Amino acid sequence: MPLSSDAQSTLKRLFDAEQQARQTLEAAEQRAQAAVAEAQRQADELVKTTRQEEDQRFRMRLTQAQEEAAASVKRRVEAVEFEAAELARRANLHQAEAAAMVVDWVIGGSE
């Protein structure tokens, strides 16, 4: 039994609507995939930028720590050198005093 003209027309409209819905769905899926890909690209870029910024901050902190350590070592070396010079000065003074005592003893003992 052949379909009536109205039934054929309705069937054709339903078929066309289904085709249009499939095309719309495919286009939406493609846009969604593109959006996901773009979001992933942006996330990757953000991670890369964040890593670079953190690397730079770390290098700056490391440089600062190295400078502080170098300054601390320099201060300690200067303090030790000052103390060594003071000890040498005292040793020379004691040596001179000891020599004077020996001379006084020798001169005083021979009289």
pLDDT above 70 covers a percentage of the chain that reads 95
DSSP string across 11-67: HHHHHHHHHHHHHHHHHHHHHHHHHHHHHHHHHHHHHHHHHHHHHHHHHHHHHHHHH
5-39 per-position pLDDT tens digit: 888 899 999 999 999 999 999 999 999 999 999 99
Q: What local confidence, expressed as pLDDT, does residue 1 receive?
A: 54
pTM of the full predicted structure?
Answer: 0.54
The answer to whether 11 and 3 have CB atoms below 8 angstroms apart is: yes
- The stretch 44-62 carries a mean pLDDT of 98
Least Cα distance to 33 among 23, 22, 21, 25 occurs for 25
Query: Which residue, chain included where needed, has tokens 């005592």?
Result: 101
